[in-house]
């Protein structure tokens, strides 16, 4: 069971809602069951939100726990009562969980990882930060908070992967499950995933050129400039052509994807060099230095008994459109490549660790197909028709495996739909299971 719980001494009051902080101590490593855990522990943080009018009766409300996308990103830090949280708080207490390793939960950082003796120890440590361990944390937290009562989950993107793992191994803890842009491929390694996603990224590049045709010349000029000249970012890191083209990672968002890059390109050059304005703002587009799990475990989130072996990089030659020497170099998407561990300051010391994780083949299973076929938990999932990050066809195959799962396929939203119009999206999912 959870070893300790501590709550904030005071209730924090925000515009439209209150919250209480929770801190849980959980095992770093689990065995097959919750009882087969090691002695080393880590901290997991969660923030419980509720409406002020329920101050004296909040414990009578059911919980909705939120699983953030990523991997490697903390839960939202809401400032006001709006979006999906506004809808959820009408009938739930909301638990914003900082998954293990992120936010206020014993966060993975370069400083912390370098305290471990070598890459082998770091590899063993990081192997405990996938969806299977997050689900076991969640079960311990559920039992500590509400005993045998069930709770409802909302999983965004990677949070939907976590939800599907939860349905596979601990369905007895679940009342209902809502998923947005996150029904996972049930593959054993990422190869099938990237063969499906690279064409999606090519489509997004074509849409970008259609929306901003004048950027074609600027992008090509920047790539050629970076191939022939050394440009340093404010961090001292080199801005390479490959790193620049990684800005396509954001192309799957309705806002902040195409437009942010477009407006940044307007001030790309100052004379014959890239401007400080461009380079400084470009740094903020990609967060591999601050969210290490996102880079170092990205391919591992798909692995079940097989190694990833740098899947995205291995498969890239199958799509020559991304060749740097092409007449119009294309932006890449949510793919991780080995060069990143040569160029990003917080990833460079972890190059050996990343290689070991890429070669690791004894990953435990994340999903139990037979358990999913027997599912009795009501599940409603929103699939984004043009999703660049989670392939629609693979998601539909997953939905067909989960008995009773209801799907809503829409092209009204992109992958950031829950953030942009969460109140309406969650309301529709709630209605679907009712």
pLDDT digits (tens, 9 = 90+) for 15-31: 999 999 999 999 999 98
Question: If pLDDT is split at 50, 70 and 90, which confidence band does 1 have?
Answer: very low
pLDDT digits (tens, 9 = 90+) for 148-158: 999 999 999 99
Task: For helices 258-265 and 191-211, give the axis angle rounded to 10 degrees.
Answer: 50
Domain with CATH 3.40.50.1820 in the chain: 5-186+367-433
Q: Is 361 exposed, middle or buried, given 0-12, 13-18 or 19+ CB atoms closer than 10 A?
A: exposed
Asked if the model's pLDDT at residue 430 lies above 70, the reply is yes
Specify the range with the lowest mean pLDDT, choosing from 31-35, 142-146, 206-210: 31-35
The stretch 179-189 carries a mean pLDDT of 97
Asked if the model's pLDDT at residue 241 lies above 80, the reply is yes
pLDDT digits (tens, 9 = 90+) for 244-266: 999 999 999 987 789 999 999 99
- The answer to whether the Cα torsion of 141, 144, 145, 147 is positive or negative is positive
Question: If pLDDT is split at 50, 70 and 90, which confidence band does 190 have?
Answer: very high
Please tell me which residue, 5 or 292, carries the higher pLDDT value.
292
pLDDT of residue 327: 86
Phi/psi at 27 (5° precision):
-65, 145
In a 13 Å sphere around the CA of 323, the CA atoms on its Cβ side amount to 8
Q: Which residues are identified as catalytic?
A: 157, 362, 415
Furthest CA-CA distance within the chain: 66
The stretch 277-290 carries a mean pLDDT of 93
pLDDT of residue 7: 62
**Beta-sheet strands, E only, within 192-292:** 269-270, 273-274
Name the CATH code of domain 5-186+367-433 (choices 3.40.640.10, 3.10.580.10, 3.40.50.2300, 3.40.50.1820): 3.40.50.1820
Contacts with 96 (C-beta within 8 Å, 6 or more apart), sequence order: 46, 47, 48, 49, 66, 75, 76, 78
Specify the range with the lowest mean pLDDT, choosing from 54-58, 92-96, 154-158, 373-377: 54-58
Report d(CA 300, CA 305) in Å as an integer. 10
pLDDT digits (tens, 9 = 90+) for 299-338: 999 999 999 999 999 999 999 999 998 888 999 999 999 9
- CA dist list (Å): 30 to 164, 221, 321, 364, 390: 19, 51, 43, 12, 28
């Amino acid at each position: 069971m959870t070893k300790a719980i501590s709550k904030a001494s005071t209730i924090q009051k925000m515009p439209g809602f209150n919250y209480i902080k929770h801190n849980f101590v959980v095992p770093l490593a689990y065995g097959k069951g919750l009882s087969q855990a090691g002695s080393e522990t880590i901290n997991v943080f969660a923030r419980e939100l509720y409406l002020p009018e329920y101050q004296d009766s909040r414990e009578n409300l059911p919980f909705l726990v939120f699983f953030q996308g990523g991997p490697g990103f903390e839960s939202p830090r809401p400032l006001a009562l709006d979006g999906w949280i506004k809808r959820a708080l009408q009938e739930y207490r909301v638990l914003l969980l900082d998954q293990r390793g992120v936010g206020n939960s014993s966060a993975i950082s370069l400083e912390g990882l370098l305290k471990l003796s070598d890459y082998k120890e770091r590899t063993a440590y990081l192997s405990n930060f996938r969806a299977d361990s997050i689900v076991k944390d969640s079960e311990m937290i559920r039992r500590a908070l509400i005993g045998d009562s069930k709770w409802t989950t909302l999983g965004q993107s990677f949070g939907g992967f976590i939800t599907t793992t939860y349905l596979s191994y601990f369905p007895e803890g679940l009342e209902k499950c809502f998923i947005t842009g996150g029904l996972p491929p049930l593959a054993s390694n990422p190869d099938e995933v990237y063969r499906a996603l690279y064409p999606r990224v090519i489509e997004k590049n074509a849409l970008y050129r259609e929306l901003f045709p004048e950027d074609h010349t600027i992008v090509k000029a920047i790539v050629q400039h970076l191939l022939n000249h050394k440009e340093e970012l404010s961090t001292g890191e080199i801005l390479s052509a490959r790193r620049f083209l990684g800005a396509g990672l954001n192309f799957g968002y309705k806002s902040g994807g195409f437009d942010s890059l477009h407006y940044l390109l307007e001030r790309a050059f100052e004379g014959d060099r890239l401007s400080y304005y461009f380079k400084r703002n470009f740094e903020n587009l990609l967060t591999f230095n601050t969210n290490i799990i996102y880079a170092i475990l990205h391919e591992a989130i798909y692995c079940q008994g097989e190694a990833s072996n740098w899947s995205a990089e291995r498969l890239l030659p199958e799509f020559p459109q991304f060749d740097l020497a092409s007449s119009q170099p294309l932006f890449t998407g949510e793919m991780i490549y080995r060069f990143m561990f040569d160029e990003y300051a917080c990833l460079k010391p972890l190059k050996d660790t990343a290689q070991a994780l890429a070669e690791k083949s004894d990953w435990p299973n994340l999903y139990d197909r037979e358990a999913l076929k027997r599912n009795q938990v009501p599940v409603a999932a929103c699939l984004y028709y043009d999703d660049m990050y989670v392939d629609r066809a693979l998601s539909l195959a997953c939905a067909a495996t989960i008995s009773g799962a209801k799907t809503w396929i829409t092209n009204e939203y992109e992958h950031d739909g829950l953030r942009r119009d969460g109140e309406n999206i969650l309301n529709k999912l709630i209605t679907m299971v009712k």
